[in-house]
Structure 1
């Protein structure tokens, strides 16, 4: 007998997210990274020298979680911590040259992952799926009282188009 929960959108969304994360982990392992580490490298490539608090907020994790990730990336030689002039308590995180190179390679991983995710979907189906997922994201974010990290620019661009 099949589980009736398996027909729910929540189940499908959860199962799809788990598969996406597993494939992401496999692709990132080729770069010597674990899921979540790539986000730190990309954030630092956009704005190097962020504080731990900035990184934790941008990643939407607690500071101890961000600190553990930075410690692992430091041990791999991808980032380095530096104290700020005048205030030895304020530590900023910077990419190393190796980290910068790895950050650039992440774009290829994300592109390969995206291609796998949407294989077999035409442009119209991709737009529709993005729009529906944004609606689900907004519903969940509203229930939690957060902004959910929604990309308002993408919303405006895609919502103007007929699907």
Structure 2
């Protein structure tokens, strides 16, 4: 007997997200990373020396979660923590040279993942999918009482060609 929920958008979205996460984990493992660690490295490559609070907010996780991720990346020699001059309680996180190298390799993983996800879709279908997902994302964020980082603006290149 078929699952009646298999035809729902929620089911499809959830199943797709799980598959995307599994493939992402596989590709990141080739770099010696776990999902979530790549986001920290990319954030630090954009702005090195962030505080733990900054990182937690940017990652949309609780500070203890960010702290665990930083501890694991420190053990791998990819980041280092430094106390701020004048205030030993304020710690900033910096990429090491190895972390900077690994951060550069993440772009290739993201490009490969994106290519796998949208294989067989033409340019117009990709734009439409992004636009529809933003709408779903906004609906969910509003229901949760947050903006979810979603705005009403169309992303560059996502304007409707057939409008």
Instruction: Work out whether residues 5 and 11 of structure 1, in 8 Å CA contact, stay in contact via their aligned partners in 2.
Output: yes
In 2, the alpha carbon distance for the partners of 1:32 and 1:147 equals: 33
* Cα drift, residue 145 of structure 1: 1.4
In 2, the alpha carbon distance for the partners of 1:63 and 1:123 equals: 39
For these two proteins, the number of residue pairs brought into alignment is 162
TM-score (norm 1): 0.96
Question: Once superposed, which parts of structure 1, at least 4 consecutive aligned residues long, lie more than 4 Å away?
Answer: none
Counting only pairs closer than 5 Å after superposition, residues 123-142 of structure 1 correspond to structure 2 as 123-142=123-142
Instruction: Work out whether residues 83 and 90 of structure 1, in 8 Å CA contact, stay in contact via their aligned partners in 2.
Output: yes
Partner of 2:90: 90
| Structure with the higher helix share, 1 or 2 | 1
In 2, the alpha carbon distance for the partners of 1:8 and 1:16 equals: 12
The CA RMSD measured in Å over matched residues stands at: 1.3
TM-score (norm 2): 0.96
Q: Equivalent residue of 1:157, what SS?
A: coil
Structure 1: runs of 5+ lacking an equivalent: none
Structure 2: runs of 5+ lacking an equivalent: none
In 2, the alpha carbon distance for the partners of 1:112 and 1:45 equals: 20
Instruction: Work out whether residues 131 and 158 of structure 1, in 8 Å CA contact, stay in contact via their aligned partners in 2.
Output: no
Instruction: Work out whether residues 25 and 34 of structure 1, in 8 Å CA contact, stay in contact via their aligned partners in 2.
Output: yes
